[in-house]
């Protein structure tokens, strides 16, 4: 490869490297924002859950948000034998720019866990929707993309209404995250809530609340209902952010790999260009020396 082409290639790679580094910086900023919001919503959801549980226990309230089964254990066991459990699953997928497959393990998990259950789905993203349709699951609602700031409120309202009116036993959420590598999160009922997995144990406040001296307005049932609304929205926000966070994190890993490869190629081509340049300089010196020698010989011949 000639020197001009090598130099041009190095300059082009440097421009690409600068663009990828700029993208990396944007990803880092987004990750910091997402992490801050994630911590806020998880802490808020946990506080909501603890308050709902405390009020329910203090006043012995059999609220559907706290525990779905109000019948005896014996009747529940009989029901489980003859009636398929009805569950609502939310499956969210993000757009993947690179040739990676982050969702197959979750889809195998979904197929395994829904074999003997009556399951309805809410899907977020094209892959989630296509997966459910291909496997003939009932999709109640489909959202094309995870637009967390817009989607969270609408999705939380849908979950609450369906949970109460359709008598779902559980509400589960499936997303791509290393904090639940091939499983799901249980949102409702609150006694089976396990979104604690999204946060480190040092950040979780699980102290039992002493509310015996508290006054509940306007009444206990309405209070729990209102608190449940806030709880569901905080949980949905947490999970949608975690989905975006993990995707952003993967994009950052990919960007770092691209930058590393670009740096190696730039260094390799720069060294190659330097060798070609030196070789050209040596050839030029040899040529000049040879020309000077010929000129001297020519002058000597003319002087004879």
Please write the tens of the pLDDT for every residue from 94-123.
Answer: 887 655 678 999 999 999 999 888 999 999
- Of the pLDDT bands very low, low, confident and very high (cuts 50, 70, 90), residue 300 is low
Report if residue 27 sits inside a domain.
no
Distance between CA atoms of residues 187 and 167, nearest Å: 15
Query: Torsion-angle region of residue 121: left (phi > 0), alpha (psi -120 to 50) or beta?
Result: beta
Asked whether residue 24 is assigned to any structural domain, the reply reads: no
Give the pLDDT score at 202: 45
293 burial level (CB within 10 Å; 0-12, 13-18, 19+) = exposed
Cα–Cα distances (Å) from 64 to 73, 239, 260, in that order, read 16, 22, 53
Q: Are residues 235 and 273 in the same domain?
A: no
Are residue 117 and residue 62 in the same domain, yes or no?
A: yes
Average pLDDT, the chain: 83
Q: What's the CATH number where 217 sits?
A: 3.40.1380.10
Q: How confident is the model at residue 184, as a pLDDT?
A: 92
Q: C-alpha angle with apex 206: 92 to 76, nearest 5 degrees?
A: 65
**How confident is the model over 115-137, as a mean pLDDT?**
94
Q: Are residues 59 and 187 in the same domain?
A: yes
Beta-bridge partner residues of 26: none
The verdict on 176 and 291 lying in the same domain is no
* Domain count along the chain: 2
228 lies in some domain: yes
Are residues 179 and 97 part of one domain?
A: yes
304 part of a folded domain: no
- Give the pLDDT confidence score for residue 148 in this predicted structure: 72
Strands 170-174 and 117-124: unpaired
Co-location of 147 and 211 in the same domain:
yes
Assess if residue 26 is contained within a domain.
Answer: no
> What gap in Å lies between CA 119 and CA 108, rounded to an integer?
15
- pLDDT above 90: residue 233: yes
pLDDT band of residue 20 (cuts 50, 70, 90) is very high
Residues 289, 220 share a domain: no
Selection from 12-26, 67-81, 236-250 with the highest mean pLDDT: 12-26
pLDDT of 290 strictly over 90: no
25 is a domain residue: no
Q: Tell me the pTM.
A: 0.80
Query: Do 199 and 222 reside in the same domain of the chain?
Result: yes
Supply the range of the domain harboring residue 12. 3-19+256-299
Do both 136 and 195 map to the same domain?
yes
């Amino acid at each position: 490869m000639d020197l001009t082409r090598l130099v041009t290639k190095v300059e082009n790679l440097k421009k690409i490297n600068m663009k990828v580094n700029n993208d990396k910086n944007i990803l880092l900023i987004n990750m910091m924002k997402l992490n801050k919001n994630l911590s806020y919503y998880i802490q808020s959801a946990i506080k909501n859950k603890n308050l709902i549980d405390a009020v329910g226990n203090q006043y012995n309230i059999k609220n559907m948000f706290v525990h779905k089964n109000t019948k005896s254990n014996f009747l529940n066991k009989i029901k489980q034998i003859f009636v398929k459990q009805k569950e609502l699953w939310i499956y969210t997928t993000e757009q993947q720019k690179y040739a990676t497959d982050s969702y197959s393990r979750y889809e195998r998990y979904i197929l395994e866990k829904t074999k003997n259950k009556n399951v309805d789905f809410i899907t977020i993203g094209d892959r989630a929707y296509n997966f459910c349709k291909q496997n003939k699951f009932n999709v109640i609602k489909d959202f094309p993309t995870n637009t967390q700031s817009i989607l969270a409120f609408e999705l939380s309202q849908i979950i609450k209404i369906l949970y109460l009116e359709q008598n779902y036993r559980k509400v589960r959420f499936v997303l791509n995250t290393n904090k639940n590598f091939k499983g799901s999160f249980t949102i409702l009922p609150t006694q089976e809530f396990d979104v604690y997995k999204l946060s480190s144990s040092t950040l979780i406040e699980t102290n039992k609340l002493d509310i015996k001296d508290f006054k509940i307005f306007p009444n206990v049932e309405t209070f729990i209902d209102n608190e449940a609304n806030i709880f569901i929205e905080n949980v949905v926000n947490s999970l949608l952010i975690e989905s975006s966070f993990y995707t952003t994190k993967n994009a950052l890993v990919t960007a770092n790999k691209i930058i590393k490869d670009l740096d190696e190629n730039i260094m390799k081509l720069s060294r190659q260009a330097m060798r070609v340049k030196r070789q050209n300089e040596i050839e030029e010196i040899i040529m000049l020396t040879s020309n000077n020698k010929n000129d001297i010989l020519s002058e000597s011949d003319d002087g004879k």
